[in-house]
Structure 1
Amino acid sequence: MSVFIEALLEARRPLIMEVKRRDPHGNDLMGGRTVAEVVAHYETAGAACVSVVTGRWFGGTPELLREVVDRTGKPVLQKDFITRRDHIQQARRCGAAAVLLTAGLLTRSSLANLIDAALSLELTPFVEITSEDEITGITSASQCVIAVNNKDIKTGERDTGDLTRSERMLPFLRASGTRAPVSASGIDTPETAARLADLGYAGLLVGTALLRAPSVGDWLDAFDNSRTTEFARKGA
């Protein structure tokens, strides 16, 4: 059983809230807050899962992952360019529950090997894709999160994002067999997040928008208020 996937599927709000020190342009996102303060806000807000960007270009480190894991009981995703088995082993040692695997950066055989390596260590492969062709290379899809990246990794995700990609790709994600289709990056407003959730995404990864929000609680209230009546009947 994947604790990461189960947490998403059981959450009242299917949000993966992200910790990262800098945006793709190098701008500070912490605003003087400590990691402990950010994680505490996410805990209070009822995050389903927490994502930690450990890539150096975003100011991340393995120590940041360890700190977040130590400060939350939520399943934690490590986001980095993971390309080798020892990267996955390190993620496991640091306490991650899931690891990012970027399909566009890996050969199909490498992706399959890394999925197997993650599953063997009881880590959830969080496979990020941008096209239908990349989905077809994913093995064990029912045990993976498959996430549409709305931004362009070839430009370092410095673009504003194309949310129509998530709209187009959802039927292909469903057909893959994954239980947890996710839309990630470029989700800038509560209304955008609500629309994607109502479309049928099991999870939404939101980072910069929450870190820049004057109030995480107000952002989430707006998200709830933008959801459908069906969502409201489920206890939102």
Structure 2
Amino acid sequence: MTHPHRTDFPFLEALLAAPTPVVTEVKRLDSHGYDLLGSRTPVKIVDAYEAAGAPCISVVTGRWFGGSPALLRDVAAITKLPLLQKDFITRKDQVRTAKELGASAVLLTAALLPRSSMRTLVTECLLSGLTPFVEITSEAELETVHHPDECVIAVNNKDIKKRERGGADLGRSLDLLPALRAAGTPCPVSASGIDSPQAAAELLDAGFGGLLVGTSLLRSGAPADWVSAVTRARKELTLR
């Protein structure tokens, strides 16, 4: 199979080029159903993310978090930043719809996909010019990833089977990082439960190429300050 060149994948390129590679997120509800947007419109949130220097944005369209495909379409209409659609994608037609709605990347959750489906969906993403953003929680799940060298592979620090309502285990990311590197992903990511700039800085210092931060940034109300704090914390780590 012949894939487009990596430069045809703007989500991956933006993440690799970012000085502080934090994927920010537009999400209506947290895992417990609490409102994260308040009186803020998606326009205000996206403006704040752009001002913070976000390389790309995750848009949660899954119903669990109060999302819908319309939210992705709306965000795509107000920003040129590459967008990740976060939902439970299980069929090729959903990949095509993501592209039509304005996505540059699609979440594929390894825990929910048989190996054959993972192969089909990764292939469909690559042929469509979409970055497969594959979420794993174990080495066994990592082994199911087709073309890992062309995927962003993210460790979910929470348990999807509990609808991400439990606590986060950032140690899971650190434990799996060597396996992600060995698999050849160009951008290993730690996702979910990163609740402070210090934790973010430590994950980046450990060797992660990107982070996905949703709830903490939305609750902070000041994404630029949060990202600046990550930058300061990283500098402090290098001086130790």
Partner of 1:65: 72
2:27 pairs with 20, 30, 36, which one? Answer: 20
Shift in Å at residue 48 of structure 1? 1.1
Q: Write the mapping of 1:44-63 to structure 2, written as runs, cut at 5 A.
A: 44-63=51-70
Partner of 1:142: 149
Partner of 1:11: 18
How high is the sequence identity, in percent, across the aligned residues?
56
Whether the 8 Å contact between 2:49 and 2:224 is mirrored in structure 1 is no
Distance 1:160 1:23 in 2: 13
TM-superposition CA deviations, 1:59-104 (whole Å, max 9, x none): 1011100111111111100000000011101101001000000000
1:218 has 2:222 as partner: no
Distance 2:191 2:236 in 1: 24
Whether the 8 Å contact between 2:32 and 2:165 is mirrored in structure 1 is yes
Distance 1:63 1:214 in 2: 24
Partner of 2:3: none
Q: Write the mapping of 1:69-84 to structure 2, written as runs, cut at 5 A.
A: 69-84=76-91
SS state at 1:83 partner? coil
Shift in Å at residue 172 of structure 1? 0.3
Distance 1:230 1:122 in 2: 37
Partner of 1:185: 192
When normalised by structure 2's length, the TM-score is 0.94
1:111 has 2:118 as partner: yes
TM-superposition CA deviations, 1:26-79 (whole Å, max 9, x none): 000002100000000001111011000000111101110011111111110000
Alignment-mate amino acid for residue 34 of structure 1: T
Q: Which stretch of structure 1 is more off in the superposition, 132-141 or 22-31?
A: 132-141
C-alpha change, 1:231 and 1:9, in structure 2 (3 Å) is farther
Partner of 2:162: 155
SS state at 2:77 partner? helix
Partner of 1:94: 101
Shift in Å at residue 230 of structure 1? 8.3
1:174 has 2:184 as partner: no
Q: Which stretch of structure 1 is more off in the superposition, 22-31 or 220-229?
A: 220-229
Distance 1:187 1:229 in 2: 19
Whether the 8 Å contact between 2:48 and 2:222 is mirrored in structure 1 is no
1:29 has 2:29 as partner: no
Partner of 1:227: 234
Unpaired stretches in structure 2, ≥5 consecutive residues: 1-5
Alignment-mate amino acid for residue 140 of structure 2: D
Shift in Å at residue 228 of structure 1? 3.4
Shift in Å at residue 216 of structure 1? 1.6
SS state at 1:148 partner? strand
1:42 has 2:57 as partner: no
